[in-house]
């Protein structure tokens, strides 16, 4: 039995790590292919977890637009499919890599397994183009691994046959559990006993005026609360640095860093008092860790996370973000203990379940 695991970006790699590791202990041959859609962040994850892709496509170097990425992957991934002739291709989530890889496989009549199937924001423009990618991949996949019952119900509404849908939890929880057990020395920025606020923002639909509005909220919060320190590991997209340079006011309690590795980042999430993010994966991690998290987006496909009471959908308007922060930081941050870990996204055994189902299905 041979499968191909196709990965293009940091979050896909992070969420595929548990499967790639566990599958090594089975009779399945797994060929890892990197599309290199996020070259730098992706290779950091591969290094951290000792993963060596057999094939690397230089997508980022060769393509700029989404359509270039799709056509580049279609053509080059097809060549790999012709050489390897896998029984199944594993794609994750909602990236352009996953979408193009699934389409290339479909056209060659190769079965597709979709991990993290069924997430929906019900708005094709947010997240863009991810919402379309998910719907598209789900419409051609053979095995659908849904993280939650909500995701399963979304798939059923799309017309996917229930017997091809498996609710398995999210593999990110497998990795967070592993990461939090690692004994590492976290080189934490010097925050001098202040409240630690962890910030990330990178979404394509936020690049531009939304990100300016998020950064204006950061400026206001730093002025309003002299007992907070905001740590902002900045995504390497140069557009983000440009907007940050234009908007963020210099403040010694605003610490802009390079991205942390994922073990460090999960530990930082655990240490933080409040997280502010427009990331998808970070929402899931913080729900599991039990951290109040301000979601810097107008809608989230992580609707289950909202039920855990750890996520606050603030939107991207400056005042709304500040108000949401105020509502969490009440009584000088004395209410933070009420946020508890939730298993809504799984118990850390998703990868084990996924591999068993794949084995059964390929047999």
x-or-dash string of contact with ligand UDP, 26-45, rule CB under 6 A: --------------------
C-beta closer to ligand UDP: residue 22 or 44: 44
Phi, psi of 30 (to 5 degrees): -115, 120
> CA–CA distance from 11 to each of 47, 153, 268 (Å)?
14, 24, 17
Among 72, 106, 145, 260, binds ligand UDP (CB under 6 A): 260
What string of DSSP letters covers 93-107?
Answer: TT-HHHHHHHHHHHH
CA nearest to 294, candidates 309, 276, 307, 279? 276
CA distance 212 to 343: 34
- Name the minimum Å distance from CB 163 to ligand UDP: 29
Give the shortest CB-91-to-ligand UDP separation in angstroms.
14
Among 14, 23, 104, 167, binds ligand UDP (CB under 6 A): 14
Contact between 152 and ligand UDP by CB under 6 A: the answer reads no
Candidate residues 195, 202, 253, 291; the one interacting with ligand UDP per rule CB under 6 A: 202
* Enzyme catalytic residues: 94, 116, 130, 202, 204, 235
For helices 171-181 and 280-289, angle between their N-to-C axes, nearest 10 degrees = 60
- If one asks whether residue 119 binds ligand UDP (CB under 6 A), the answer comes out as no
The whole-angstrom separation of Cα 302 and Cα 121 is: 8
Closer residue to ligand UDP (CB): 187 or 360: 187
**What is the edge-to-edge ordering of all strands in the sheet holding 88-92?**
55-56, 29-34, 2-7, 88-92, 111-115, 143-146, 165-167
- Give the other-Cβ count within 10 Å of 97's Cβ: 30
The CA distance from 299 to 123, in Å, is 8
Mask of contacts with ligand UDP, 213-252, x by CB under 6 A?
A: --------------------x-------------------
Shortest distance, position 2 Cβ to ligand UDP, whole Å: 28
- Nearest to ligand UDP of 55, 265 (CB atom): 265
Contact 329, 222 (CB under 8 A): no
Report the residue from 5, 216, 262, 310 that binds ligand UDP according to the rule CB under 6 A.
Answer: 262
Contact call for residue 120 and ligand UDP (CB under 6 A): no
| Residue whose CB is less far from ligand UDP, 171 or 213 | 171
Q: Among the candidate windows 18-26, 52-60, 108-116, 262-270, which touches ligand UDP by CB under 6 A?
A: 262-270
Chain position carrying tokens 């994850």: 45
**Residues 5, 6, 7, 11: which binds ligand UDP (CB under 6 A)?**
11
Least Å distance, CB 234 to ligand UDP, is 8
- Cα maximum dimension of the chain: 62
Which candidate, 134, 139, 140, places its Cα nearest to that of 122? 134
Q: Please, what sign has the CA dihedral across residues 337, 338, 339, 344? A: positive
Pattern of binders to ligand UDP over 273-302, x per CB under 6 A? ------xxxx--x-----------------
Contacting positions for ligand UDP (CB under 6 A): 10-11, 14, 200, 202, 233, 259-260, 262, 265-266, 279-282, 285
């Amino acid at each position: 039995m041979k499968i191909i695991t196709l990965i293009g970006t940091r979050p896909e790699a992070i969420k595929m790590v548990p499967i790639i590791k566990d599958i090594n202990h089975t009779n399945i041959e797994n060929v890892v292919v990197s599309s290199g859609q996020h070259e730098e962040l992706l290779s950091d994850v591969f290094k951290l977890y000792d993963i060596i892709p057999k094939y690397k496509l230089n997508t980022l170097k060769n393509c700029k637009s989404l359509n270039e990425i799709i056509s580049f992957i279609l053509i080059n991934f097809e060549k790999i499919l012709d050489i390897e002739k896998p029984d199944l291709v594993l794609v994750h989530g909602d990236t352009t890599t996953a979408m193009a890889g699934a389409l290339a496989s479909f056209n060659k009549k190769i079965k597709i397994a979709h991990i993290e199937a069924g997430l929906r924001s019900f708005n094709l423009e947010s997240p863009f183009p991810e919402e379309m990618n998910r719907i598209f991949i789900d419409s051609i996949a053979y095995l659908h691994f849904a993280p939650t019952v909500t995701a399963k119900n979304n798939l059923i509404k799309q017309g996917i046959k229930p017997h091809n849908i498996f609710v398995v939890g999210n593999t990110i929880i497998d990795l967070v559990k592993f990461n939090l057990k690692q004994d590492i020395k976290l080189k934490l920025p010097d925050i001098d006993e202040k409240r630690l606020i962890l910030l990330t923002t990178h979404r394509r639909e936020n690049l531009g005026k939304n990100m300016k509005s998020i950064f204006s909220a950061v400026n206001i919060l730093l002025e309003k609360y002299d007992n907070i320190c905001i740590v902002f590991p900045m995504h390497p997209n140069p557009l983000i640095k440009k907007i940050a340079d234009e908007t963020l006011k210099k403040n010694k309690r605003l610490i802009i860093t390079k991205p942390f590795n994922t073990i460090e980042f999960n530990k930082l999430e655990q240490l933080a008092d409040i997280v502010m993010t427009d990331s998808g994966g970070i929402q899931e991690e913080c729900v599991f860790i039990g951290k109040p998290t301000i979601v810097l987006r107008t809608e989230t496909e992580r609707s289950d996370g909202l039920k855990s009471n750890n996520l606050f959908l603030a939107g991207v308007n400056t005042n709304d973000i500040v108000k949401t922060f105020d509502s969490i930081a009440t009584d000088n941050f004395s209410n933070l203990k009420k946020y508890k870990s939730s298993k809504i996204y799984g118990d850390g055994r998703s990868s084990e379940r996924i591999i068993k189902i794949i084995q059964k299905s390929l047999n």
